[in-house]
A and B are shown apart, each in its own frame.
Chain A
Amino acid sequence: MNRILGYFLPVTLLIAVWWSIVVLFDIPHFILPAPDRVATVLFDRFTLISVHAATTALEIICGLFLGSIMGFTVACLIGDSKRLQSITMPTLIISQALPVFAIAPILMLWLGYGFASKLAMTTLIVFFPVTASTLSGFRALPASWDVTFQTLRPRRVKLFFYVRLPLAIPYTLSGVRVAASVAPIGAIVGEWVGSSSGLGYLMLHANARGQTDLMFAALVVLCSEALMIWSVTNRITLRFDKKYTANV
């Protein structure tokens, strides 16, 4: 019951505040449409919005998956070598420091206006949090554990795959949860820069035609989509989190 309240109470409050502002200040619908107007658009243009929502969802999910796999793999490749980390870290940081807005046009040029460029942008935005978190996981082995395992005279490869890698998994999953919340940015920016489908494209399209209610409807769907993707990611990752969290 508390959980349901936790989800619906803030949403209900937000809608109430939104509605009150529209009514109290008599704001015209092309500046801020009332929630009922947005709901009507959502209902009337359900098919159109659904098609675009599906495109964006696919970009986010595929980007999240690919970025997580790539981030985890890169972290595994460099995680056991301080030298490799010092060589690759500047490149990794640059990949994150450059705003996606700045590199979006280049990616469009290279990968075209289709799905690939949006996937690349989402992957890029997801990649760094997952890599950085996994690397933190490799460094998080308590000193006394390290000493204990050293006395077992382990093979380096065995120690990495049997101990260090599984112990880093909760950190990776924490990175995936952070990445899931920022992944929609990559997809939407990509759609804004150039596309023929997706919620970002729909918002730009509606904006150009003064269809503010459709813009808001797309925004509402995007929020719901982002929330659902994060919730599912959170549920899946927490399940593995418990299994690999060490009692130190």
Chain B
Amino acid sequence: MTKAIKEVQVNETVLSIDQLTLGFPGQDPLTTISWAIHRGQQIALLGKSGSGKSTLLNTIIQGSLSIQCQTQRVAYLSQQPALLPWVSVLDNVLLGFTLRGETIVSKHLELAHQLLEDVELCGFQYHKTSHLSGGERSRVALARALLEDADLLLLDEPFAALDRSTKIQMTKLCKKLFANKTVIMVTHDPRDALGWLDIAVVLTSRGLRGPFDLADFQNDHALIQALDGDL
């Protein structure tokens, strides 16, 4: 059986959600949740397919009267890295500056090069993204999210389409590069976050449950119980 863990410390609240009803127009609501995320928290958001995990992330990004987000600097990573095939890896990393119409100065370029080195894509700067593997593309998206220096990182199963060894590599990279960042990572498989995230919350039809120790979900039985909302 999973055990609830107490909040270790209460920092500044980055995101607070008050009685947010998740659902789609014309359909029964999926669930109603209240939640507060503090600066520096790194949380795995678990839940069954269709429980509303991705909808929650999308609602956080799009905004709602029930959500108070203390920052505009939010980065989002999904299964699809959203890379433009006609520009280089470097231009994809710098895409945020281009789309905001900001001038790219040498400081930004140096940082982009450094981040590409951090995600082990040194030498790929001028390659087209269409020539990269799935893992390499995910790392380009990771570098772009890091360059945005976001206060809140929302990850929607970013490694789901990758093979196991690439997933492990990506998890290690995230642990190293997202240290001190506030992270919410949606996942079906707690193993994707093991060794990186410690806390898990579970989204069920009866609301948000947790926080729990993520290590407790490595057992399939405990995970199934948790996903069914039978905590």
A interface vs B, CB < 8 Å?
A: 142-145, 147-155, 158-159, 162-163, 166-167, 243-248
**A243–B74 alpha-carbon span in the complex (Å):** 30
**A246–B58 alpha-carbon span in the complex (Å):** 22
- If the complex has contacts A147-B61, A150-B61, are A155 and B82 also in contact, measured as CB distance less than 8 A? no
B interface vs A, CB < 8 Å?
A: 57-58, 61-62, 72, 74-80, 82-86, 95-96, 98-101, 129-130, 137, 141, 148, 150, 154, 156
- If the complex has contacts A151-B61, A152-B148, are A144 and B78 also in contact, measured as CB distance less than 8 A? yes
Contacts of B75 in A (CB 8 A): 151
- If the complex has contacts A151-B61, A152-B96, A152-B100, are A246 and B76 also in contact, measured as CB distance less than 8 A? no
- If the complex has contacts A144-B79, A144-B156, are A152 and B99 also in contact, measured as CB distance less than 8 A? yes
**A243–B99 alpha-carbon span in the complex (Å):** 20
Contacts of B77 in A (CB 8 A): 148
Contacts of B129 in A (CB 8 A): 247
**A191–B65 alpha-carbon span in the complex (Å):** 63
Is the beta-carbon distance between B86 and A154 smaller than 8 angstroms? no
Give the distance to chain A from B159, nearest Cβ to Cβ, in Å: 14
Give the distance to chain B from A228, nearest Cβ to Cβ, in Å: 29
A-B interface, 10 closest residue pairs, ranked by CB to CB distance from nearest: A154-B99, A144-B78, A148-B82, A152-B96, A145-B82, A151-B76, A158-B99, A144-B80, A151-B74, A155-B101
Is the beta-carbon distance between B86 and A243 smaller than 8 angstroms? yes
Nearest chain-A residue to B54 (Cβ)? A144
Give the distance to chain B from A147, nearest Cβ to Cβ, in Å: 6
Is the beta-carbon distance between B101 and A148 smaller than 8 angstroms? no
Is the beta-carbon distance between A166 and B58 smaller than 8 angstroms? no
- If the complex has contacts A144-B79, A144-B82, A148-B76, are A247 and B137 also in contact, measured as CB distance less than 8 A? yes
Contacts of B148 in A (CB 8 A): 151-152
